């Protein structure tokens, strides 16, 4: 990805209209739901706390989102940066950072932000 960390932090995260399912690519088990997204990473909510500093291969299911170049899913490699209990104690929120993002993935992330993110 051509963006620097400081560039990524200057852009606003986008809260989403609805939470998309996020799966582990290797096990196909649900990891959580996508709460918000940015070009640098995502915020997930789940019933289990995720291990910090762990690299994961995730699949965001975007079948129901009408994107111009949508393959129905967004496969990304991420690093978990932090995880904590949500305001609702039945859930945990986890911040993940994208790793090795390709130009195609970056385009899909941008389309996803535009398609289902709240406007500022």
| Predicted local distance difference test score (pLDDT) of residue 69 | 61
**Nearest 5 degrees, angle CA 86-CA 88-CA 90?**
90
| Predicted local distance difference test score (pLDDT) of residue 112 | 82
Would you place residue 117 in the very low, low, confident or very high pLDDT band (cuts 50, 70, 90)?
low
40 close to 9: Cβ distance less than 8 angstroms: yes
pTM of the model: 0.79
22 close to 44: Cβ distance less than 8 angstroms: yes
81 close to 97: Cβ distance less than 8 angstroms: yes
Would you place residue 5 in the very low, low, confident or very high pLDDT band (cuts 50, 70, 90)?
very low
Instruction: State which residues form the domain around 108.
Output: 5-116
Largest CA distance in the chain: 38
* CA–CA separation, 50 and 84 (whole Å): 9
List pLDDT tens digits, range 45-69. 999 999 999 999 999 998 766 566 6
Flag whether pLDDT at 12 surpasses 60: no
| Predicted local distance difference test score (pLDDT) of residue 84 | 97
Flag whether pLDDT at 75 surpasses 80: yes
Q: What percent of the chain has pLDDT over 90?
A: 58
Flag whether pLDDT at 10 surpasses 60: no
Which CATH number is 15's domain given?
Answer: 2.40.10.220
Q: Which residues pair with 77 in a beta bridge?
A: 57, 99
SS3 11: coil
56 close to 77: Cβ distance less than 8 angstroms: yes
């Amino acid at each position: 990805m051509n963006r620097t960390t400081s560039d990524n932090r200057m852009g606003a995260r986008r809260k989403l209209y609805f939470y998309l399912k996020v799966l582990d690519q290797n096990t196909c088990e649900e990891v959580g739901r996508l709460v918000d997204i940015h070009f640098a990473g995502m915020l997930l909510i789940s019933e289990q706390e995720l291990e910090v500093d762990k690299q994961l291969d995730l699949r965001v299911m975007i079948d129901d989102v009408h994107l111009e170049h949508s393959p129905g899913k967004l496969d990304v490699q991420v690093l978990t940066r932090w995880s904590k209990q949500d305001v609702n104690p039945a859930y945990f929120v986890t911040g993940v950072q994208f790793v090795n993002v390709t130009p195609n993935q970056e385009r899909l992330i941008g389309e996803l932000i535009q398609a289902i993110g709240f406007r500022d």
